[in-house]
Structures are given as structure tokens and as C-alpha cells.
Chains A and B, each alone.
Chain A
Amino acid sequence: MDLSSIDPVLLIASLMVAATAVMIAAIGELIAERAGVLNLGVEGMMITGAICGFAMAVQTGSPTIGFLAAAAGGALLSLLFAFLTQVALANQVASGLALTLFGLGLSSLLGQDYQGIKPPSTPRIDIPVLTDLPAVGRIVFGHDLMVYFGLALVAATWAFLKYTRAGLVLRSVGENHDAAHALGYKVVRIRVMAIAFGGACAGLGGAYISLVRVPQWTEGMTAGIGWIALALVVFASWKPWRVLLGAYLFGGVTVLQLNLQAAGIAIPVEYLSMSPYIITIVVLVIMSADKSRAPASLGRIFHATH
């Protein structure tokens, strides 16, 4: 075992990469939940985004088009969920599960011809002087664009919820949909948009895994990251900046256990591999003391009678 082979700078730089997918997906789910919708289909939307993005990137040779396709794919799939829960008034828990099961099947069907292919690489930002700065350079600069996009998304979501009128209306729908309806806001329309945004974010997160993090396509490759994104939203008490914190924590655990595996530590690989999930549970338990911030209408079915 050689722990000295773990470089802290590289560790931080790579945890930022490891955190990006779950962070983007969690932000999408956060918006949906702030609008009062519990979408348990994140895993399904992520894996669908992963294959949509991968396939389009391979076909066109452009990672950008890949990411756009992933967002579109995730959003499209989420509209199925929106139809079920907002139009057909189906149970959100069951519909979310259906979405995940369906998404897993759909993605492996779509991905049959893409096993073992390398995708076009997503360029990193390389600013000659800055990236070469010791430590800071590698951590702050020199990532691919999606890492910065993720950070920007967190900031934008925070500002949107706190400062904009649309953000206020979105929160009002999540807090009390009957009151929002009585004031004349279109509850269903707002929720459908929030769901679609969540789907697009999940799709982007999925594509980040298949195009950058791994990068290749294998069935079921999201391996529960979508569920961890859901846990992150709870962990974050529905606050954007805490999603960032949670994602980095999760990214840190993931990268650390991978490093420990590589360093040949005496703990069996399987136990290291289960550690992110166990830590997620532990964090969930710690956070469940603070339930006060859950949007009051979360998961409730809305049907306008008048």
C-alpha cells in the first residue's frame, strides 16, 4: 500500500469532476421539488441523457451537440412523468419509479450499438499561464466547461429562487398550490416546466458521466448516482449552495475510495465501492433532523376543482 501516491491537489481537482454529474442532476431535482414535485425518476433520466448524449456526440463528433441532445432527451423523458403526474394525476412516487425502470430499459436499447466506442473528447480549458500555476492552477482552471457550467448553474439557481419574480412564483406553487391557484397562477404549467428543467439537468448530468467522467457507454452506468442526487436535495434542505457542498462531499468520498483502491489499501474493493452509498445514508440520517424546509406541497396531487 502506498498512500503517498495520492496527490491532494489532484484529489481536489478530480473530486470537482466527480461531483459535477450529481450536482447538475440534483439542481434540476431541486427546482422540481421547490415547485412541489417529487420526481424519483432522476436515475432513469440520467441514464437516458447519458446514452442520448453519447450517441449524438459519436454521430456528430461534437460533444456540445451531445450535451444538448442529452438535455433534450432527459427533458423529453421527464415530460412522460409530467403527463402522468400533472395530467393523469398519478401517484408521484410510483410514476417516478416507472420512469426510472423505463429509462433503464430505453437506454440499454438505444445503447446497443455503442458499447466499447470512445466518444470525442470534451476539451478542457487551458489558459497557458493560469493553468500552470502550482496547485491553484490545476484546481481552479483547466477543467472542462461542464465543471464551470455546474458551478454557474448552482449560482444561477440560487439567484433565480431568491431574487426573481419567477422564482418567487415557483416557490409559491411548491408551498401551497391551492393558494397559488387562487391567486391565478398556472400551477400545472409551472410544474411541467420545472419537471422539464429537472429532466434536462438530469440528462446533462448523465451525459457528463458517459462523455467525460468514464468516458464510454455501458448499461446501467449511472449506478445509483440519480438516487444520490435525490438524497443530495434532502441533504441540502432544498438550498442550492448546499447542493454544491453535498456534491463535493460525495465527489470527495468517491475519488478518495478510488484512490485508496488504486493505492492497494488492505480493505477489499467491494467495501470501498459501497462506501459512497453508506455515507449517503449516514448523511441522510444526520440531515433528517432538519425537515422544516421541505416545500409544503411536495408530492401532493393538485387538481383544480374550480
Chain B
Amino acid sequence: MVTLEKRPQPSRIVAWSTPFMAVLATMIAGGLLFAALGEDPLVAIRTIFWDPLFGQHAFFYRPQLLVKGAPLILIAIGLSLGFRAGIWNIGAEGQYILGAICGAGMGLAFYPAEGWFIFPLMVMAGALGGLVWAMIPGLLKVRFGTNEILVSLMLVYVAEQLLASMSLGLLKNPQGFGFPGSRNLQQYPSAHNAELIAGTGMHWGVAAALIAVIFAYVLLTRHQLGYHIRLTGEAPRAAKFAGIAPARLVLFCLGISGAFAGLAGMFEVSGPAGQVSIDFNTGYGFTAIIVAFLGRLHPVGILLAGLLMALTYIGGEIAQSSLGLPAAAIQMFQGMLLFFLLAVDVLTSYRLRFGKREAA
């Protein structure tokens, strides 16, 4: 019989190796899944993990890695701060949508005027939109003690309806022949989040994601606020004893994760997506939760995890077109990754002991 025994302190080596164990386990389980779907597991795994980077068309896919990874990383960094403090913002998808609506709305308000100031204003509007949307659960939690998980999640469904309403109403392209969706921002130079270096996928959102990683790293390791975030997550009573006001921390964590999600939405709508449309959101806000955990809530870990998750998106698309693998299989694959990570995570704080079981 196997029993768990608490380690005197969490093991750092194990903490860093569990994500790799989880990825490996997911590849094996995923391989079995693909085999069950009638695909050659090795081919499927290679298509997902190898081809986008080193395959025949890699030159086309590599920039995509940044395009898809940036929003995931940006959102996950914001979420990770809250998660570390035990503040669960599950509604990043909604904040992402609001950021896109506000950012695009700001840009379109100036249409067709051109000016250098338009894009910065859109960035601010996007961040503010996400922030305000996240402040709703934040203020309700601080003021009434309402559960932020449920409220932030409910607001995702509200945001989706709002998105639909915007694409069909207020932001609808007047010259769009009645099709739903806004004007395409890619054709509006002042509002277009274009590639900074052509052909690399590097746009302002990627830059923002990298800045966020550095910001979070410094905050968590060097700054008192980061220490307070970690302390609140590890021992809430000790945090109160140390003099941390929980309410301020809740507002900060929700606010910053909302702002980051809003930024991600804004960079997406003004860049790769181009327009506000009913099916604008593709679940980045939820996948970012996996990214945050897979990256061990650590900024550098999240950077790597975001790129890995972007890889599965791209690889998944390739597998979809070349192998006919269903999109749902990829979604399940991502869910599995989080499962395996949580399962092996126990090893950081506990040791396995093999032997006869005590009366428990």
C-alpha cells in the first residue's frame, strides 16, 4: 500500500520537475486517446508538438507561437497574482471581451481620423474595460463578502451577450452589408496593432506580455506587495497579523488581472482578430487558467507554459486539417494537462511511502 507523508518542507526540485512529468503523462494519455480515435499516436504527437516548430511549414507557424502565446501569457500572469493570494478570478474570458469591446470602441470612435494618439488611447480603454469588469466581483467581495469565483464567472456569460449585442448593434460596421461584426481595424492604420517586425508575429501584445512577465517577477521576488500576496495565499491569518489589509489586496489582484485580460483582448481585436464579432472570444481566458497553474504561478514558468499551450493550439489546428483530429480532442488534451499537473503536484509537499498502511 502506498501512503503519503508530509515533507518537512516543499521540495524545490520536485516543484520544477512536476510540469515536465505532467506534460509527459499527458503525451502518453493523449497518445492513447488519439489511438482510440483511430490515429497513429506518434504521428499525432509529432504533428502537434514537432511540426509547428520544425516541420515543413514551420516558417509560417513559428510567428503564430507568439501571436497565440502572448494573450495566454498576459492573462495568466495577471491571474497568477490573484491565485497566489487565494483570490480566484475565473472570469478572465469576460474581462478579455470587455477589453476588446472598449479598446475597439475607442478606436472606432475616431474613425476615420488618423493620429498617433489613437492607439495609446485604445490601450488605455482596453485595460480600463477589463479592470472595471473585474472590479465588479472585487467590490462585491470586499463590500458584501460575495464569492468572487461565481460572480466573475457569471460575468463571462453577461460579457458574451454584450459582445453579441455590440457586434449586432452599436459597433456594427455600417458598410458591412448587414453582416454582424465591426469594421476591420486592420484596415484602419491608426488603430491597427500591426506586427512590429514583419513576419515574426511580434506585435505590441507580445511586448506587453514580456513586460508583464518581468513586472510580475520583480513584484513577487523583490517587492513588499508581492511578499504580501504570497503571504496571504500561504497563511491568511499571518497576513492579517502582519498588517495586510485583505480588501486592498483583493482589489489589487482582481484589478490587475482584469486589466491584463482587457489588454490581451484589446491587442487581439486590434491585431490578429481585427474586428469585434460574435465569435471573437475563443476561450483564452479559460486556457490561461491552465497556463497559470502549469507555470506553477511563477512568471518564468508561465512564459514557458504559455508558449507550450500556444504550441498545442497551433499543432491542434494542423492536426485538425491534416489528420482530421477533432478540435475537441485538443481541448480535452489541454484539460488533461491540468489534471496530470494537479495529480503529480502532491509530490512537492508529500513523499510517497511504500509499505504497510497504518490504521488511518
Listed in ascending order, the chain A residues whose CB lies under 8 Å from chain B are 40, 80, 83-84, 88-91, 93-95, 97-98, 101-109, 111-112, 219, 223-224, 227-228, 230-231, 234, 268, 270-271, 273-274, 277-278, 280-281, 284-285, 288-289, 291, 303-306
Q: How far is the CB of B203 from chain A (nearest CB, A)?
A: 27
CB closest residue in chain A, given B163: A270
Q: Is the CB of B155 within 8 A of A80?
A: no
Q: Does B153 contact A (CB under 8 A)?
A: yes
Q: How many residues of B contact A (CB 8 A)?
A: 50
Q: Is the CB of A284 within 8 A of B342?
A: no
Chain B 128-144 residues near chain A, CB threshold 8 A: 140, 144
Q: Is the CB of A112 within 8 A of B332?
A: no
CA distance A234 to B360 in the complex (A): 32
Q: Which of B109-117, B181-189, B285-293 contacts A (4 or more CB under 8 A)?
A: B285-293
Q: Is the CB of A274 within 8 A of B158?
A: yes
Interchain CB contact (< 8 A) of A285 among B146, B289, B326: B146
CA distance A98 to B293 in the complex (A): 10
Cβ proximity bits B206-226 to A, threshold 8 Å, 1 near / 0 not: 000000000000000000000
Chain B residues with CB below 8 A from A106, complex form: 328, 332, 335
Chain A residues with CB below 8 A from B286, complex form: 101
CB closest residue in chain A, given B146: A288
Interchain CB contact (< 8 A) of B154 among A102, A281, A289: A281
Q: Is the CB of B328 within 8 A of A277?
A: no
CA distance A40 to B286 in the complex (A): 14
Cβ proximity bits B321-351 to A, threshold 8 Å, 1 near / 0 not: 0000011111111111011001111100110
CA distance A271 to B342 in the complex (A): 38
CB closest residue in chain B, given A40: B149
CA distance A268 to B330 in the complex (A): 35
Q: Is the CB of A104 within 8 A of B331?
A: yes
Interchain CB contact (< 8 A) of B345 among A90, A268, A304: A90
Chain B residues with CB below 8 A from A268, complex form: 165, 169
Q: Does B11 contact A (CB under 8 A)?
A: no
A101-B338, A227-B154, A281-B155 are known contacts; what are 10 more A-B pairs with Cβ within 8 Å? A80-B339, A88-B345, A102-B339, A107-B328, A109-B332, A224-B154, A224-B157, A234-B150, A274-B158, A289-B144
